[in-house]
Chains A and B, each alone.
Chain A
Amino acid sequence: MKHLDESQIALASRGDLSGFANLRARLHLTFCKTCRDRVAEYRQDQQRVKSAVAAFELPRSMKWDELEAEMFGNIRLGLEVEEIHRDAGQVSPVVVQHEAMSWRGLAAAGAMTAIVITGWFLTGPGAQSYLRHGPSAIAQVRSGAVVLRGDEHGVGLENRGTGLMLRNVSAPAGRFEVSLDGSVRASAVDQDSGQVTVSQVYVE
């Protein structure tokens, strides 16, 4: 008996075979355990893909709602600063800068943007790894095996390969403070609720 080929199995697993090919495949699968198992494996893989996709979470920096709110906030703020400058009889330095920008400046800005975007995609969500020691640390407290850390992602504590981290409630990094009694604190404003949330880790 000739087995179904890989493409037929893949299509059969999704019910995508049509007409006579579908009828022939169904008949074959009734009698052939090997091909039935292969179809079952394909279906399991499809299920895993669905679950993995469902579990995938966009990094905070890619939350469109937050990005949009951030962008509009900054535009609005820029306009207000300009208005204040105008009221005071000054020309906004921002406006001067725009008028003076040449095509070379625009090209340089475009190149910089491309570098930043490429850099983000190269480092990607993996760069959000918190429990990785690096130069980005803003605050750190060490007491024996316990290490407290605060960086742009939040505050956390580690002890011999285990750790707990409280991540910032909003994308822009909040404030950080080290307390010399052995604690690190971060505060950020949650964009959904408008609440200011303080996360703190302590050495016991």
Chain B
Amino acid sequence: MWNSAAISVCFAASLVAQDGLRVNFPADSPVSVVSSGWGESRAIPRGGAYMVDVRTSLKLKNNSRLRLRGISLQVSSQEVAAGGKASVSVPSLDVYPGQEFPVKIDLRLLQPNSGSSPSLVQVQLDGVLFEDMSFFGPNRLGSRRQLTAWELEARRDRQHLKLILARQGDDALRRAMVDILARENSRPKLDVRMARSAAALPNARSIETAFLSQPGIPVEGVKAVAVSAGNQLQILELAFANRDKREVRSIELGLLVRDQEGREFAAGSLPATLTMKPNGTASVQPSASVTLNRPQGIPLKVENLTGFVQQVEFANGDLWVPPGSFRDAARLAKVIPGSLEEQRLADIYRRRGVEALIEELNRQ
């Protein structure tokens, strides 16, 4: 016992001693690293492998002249989990020029106990977004689109809550937040398992498909072909038409499924990179099958698939997200989660009350 405990401690200690964390930001980055390094770390023997838990809080500084709204970092390790990537992003920030801010990374590595040295973990900047929506970074993980969409949603939702406060007062804001929290807790949950494979589902049958009507939408879904077999779903084709004057670079489609009893569930999203000239069309053929289960592993038999456009990225860098009223109008609020900003503000209200929320809304 002492032997394994000692090895665990030594393993974790050597990770720290060998400076197992490497933080690389570009030389011209508007965000600099003030301090980095592992905080708490420990290694636990697990069969023939080691689980190494490492926690760090990077301290970063905004060296630009603009307020920083979001940051995305790529986390990787050459020795473990080849074939995949990971990232940590913090949206909804409000970091003034010259201000420092923390980004926590709470990591667990699993590596074989082959006597090799502990893995080196690399943290690289993927992108930062500023108040004027300008972006800096290599954008290898598509952080520009993601951070911009989160910021647009954040502005939309803050504006909505500010309007409630201005027009109807504190009590109405309190009720709105209680509604958000109630929806968050009662939203039906679904276990979604996706396998990337182009193989056809055996005994599959065509299911009903539809796109939600969204007023003012720049890209419209025009065709969807999907099949299901029991609780397995396969989307064979999706076609879209560009109704905007700008060229489209990518879209993100939200997916809803309905079971035999008419219950609706959110089944994830489908981002698709497709080029569509103004008034042009394009289609995608996702090569994936999805297995859907309700909690406790009860299979969900899919009767109907509905798509709705939740993001459109234009070739000029502009981004479109649906207006806040869309979720309520389409009765989606009970099924799909709100924005990350809504999640953050609801947490402030839940923990610190309506006064703290009002202070937060007035701060930005």
A residues apposed to B, CB below 8 Å: 45, 48, 51-52, 55-57, 69, 72-74, 76-77, 80-81, 84, 87, 129-131, 135, 137-146, 148, 154-159, 161-169, 174-175, 177-182, 187, 189-204
B195 lies within 8 A of A142 (CB)? yes
Contact among A84, A161, A169, A198 for B112, CB-based, below 8 A: A161
Instruction: Tell me whether B272 is interfacial, beta carbon within 8 Å.
Output: yes
**B269 adjacent to A177 (CB under 8 Å):** yes
- Contact assessment for B5 and A48 in the assembled complex, using a CB-CB cutoff below 8 Å: yes
With A76-B353, A180-B270, A180-B290 as given contacts, are A162 and B107 in contact (CB-CB < 8 Å)?
no
Taking the nearest CB of chain A, how far is it from the CB of B356, in angstroms? 10
With both beta carbons as reference points, the residue of chain A lying nearest to B179 in the complex is identified as A84
The interface residues of chain A lying within 8 Å CB-to-CB of B333 are none
Q: How distant is A135 from chain B, measured CB to nearest CB, in Å?
A: 6
Cβ contacts under 8 Å, B297 to chain A = 135
B192 within 8 A of partner (CB): yes
A166–B77 alpha-carbon span in the complex (Å): 12
18 contacts between A and B (CB under 8 A): A55-B8, A84-B171, A84-B175, A144-B196, A145-B83, A158-B110, A164-B81, A164-B86, A164-B109, A175-B343, A182-B196, A191-B351, A195-B344, A196-B92, A196-B347, A197-B90, A198-B90, A199-B87
Give bound CA distance, A177 to B350, whole Å: 23
Contacts of A157 in B (CB 8 A): 81, 83-86
Contact indicator B343/A48 (Cβ below 8 Å): no
> Is the Cβ of A165 less than 8 Å from the Cβ of B107?
yes
Is B53 an interface residue when CB atoms closer than 8 A count as contact? Answer: yes
Chain A residues, CB < 8 A from B85: 157, 201-202, 204
Closest 6 A/B residue pairs (Cβ): A157-B84, A163-B110, A178-B268, A162-B80, A73-B351, A143-B196
The CA-CA distance from A189 to B360 in the complex, in Å, is: 15
A196 to B141, CA, bound (A): 19
7 more A-B contacts (CB under 8 A) besides A165-B109, A198-B340, A200-B141?
A45-B2, A80-B178, A84-B171, A130-B51, A143-B195, A198-B90, A201-B86
The contact of A163 among B6, B81, B91, by CB within 8 Å, is B81
In the complex, whether B207 has a CB less than 8 A from a CB of chain A is no
Q: Known contacts being A55-B12, A131-B110, A139-B192, is A196 close to B343, with CB within 8 Å?
A: yes
* Cα distance A163–B110 in the bound complex, in angstroms: 5
Find chain A residues with CB under 8 A from B91 CB.
Answer: 196, 198
Q: CA of A137 to CA of B193 in the docked complex: distance in angstroms?
A: 9
Spot the interface stretch: B28-36, B98-106, B312-320.
Answer: B98-106
Known: A140-B194, A198-B340, A201-B85. A166 touches B80 (CB 8 A): no
Which chain B residues have a beta carbon within 8 Å of chain A's beta carbons? 2, 5-6, 8-9, 12, 40, 42, 46, 49, 51, 53, 75, 77, 79-93, 102-112, 141, 171, 174-175, 178, 181, 189, 191-196, 235, 255, 267-272, 286, 288, 290, 296-297, 337, 340-341, 343-344, 347-348, 350-354
Question: Which residues of chain B come closer than 8 Å to A191, judged between CB atoms?
Answer: 351
Chain A residues near B84 (CB-CB < 8 A): 146, 148, 157, 159, 164, 201-204
- Chain B nearest CB: distance from A77 CB in Å? 5
Total cross-chain contacts (CB, 8 A) = 229
Q: Are A57 and B196 in contact (CB under 8 A)?
A: no
Residues of B within 8 A of A129 (CB): 46, 51
State the CA gap A27–B233 with chains docked (Å). 81
The docked-state distance in angstroms from the alpha carbon of A173 to that of B234 is 29
Asked if A194 and B348 sit within 8 Å, CB to CB, the answer is yes
Chain B residues within an 8 Å CB radius of A196:
90-92, 340-341, 343-344, 347
Given that A57-B42, A157-B84 are known contacts, is A51 also in contact with B6, CB under 8 Å in the complex? yes
Residues of B within 8 A of A131 (CB): 46, 51, 108, 110
The answer for the CA separation of A84 and B354 in the assembled complex, in Å, is 13
Inside 8 A of B53's CB, which chain A residues have their CB?
A: 57
Contact of A189 with B343 at beta-carbon distance under 8 Å, contacts A164-B77, A166-B75 already known: yes
Smallest beta-carbon distance B76→chain A, Å: 8
**Contact partners of B196 in chain A: CB under 8 A:** 141-144, 182, 203
Q: Among the listed B178, B193, B344, which residue makes an inter-chain contact with A189, where contact means beta carbons less than 8 Å apart?
A: B344
Q: Which residues of A contact B193 (CB under 8 A)?
A: 137, 139-142
Partner of B92, one of A84, A137, A174, A195: A195
Picked from A84, A130, A195, the residue with its CB within 8 Å of the CB of B90 is A195
Which B residues touch A180, using CB under 8 A? 194, 235, 255, 268-271, 286, 288, 290
B-chain residues with CB within 8 Å of residue A145 when the two chains form the complex? 83
A80-B174, A163-B109, A164-B80 in contact; A194/B344 too (CB < 8 A)?
A: yes
Q: Which residues of B contact A166 (CB under 8 A)?
A: 75, 86, 88, 105-107
Chain B residue at minimum C-beta to C-beta distance from A52:
B5
Q: Which of B107, B174, B267, B347 is close to A84, meaning CB atoms less than 8 Å apart?
A: B174
The reply to whether B90 and A159 form a contact with Cβ atoms under 8 Å apart is no
Q: List, in ascending order, chain A residues with CB within 8 A of B175's CB.
A: 84
User: Do A69 and B86 touch (CB < 8 A)?
Assistant: no
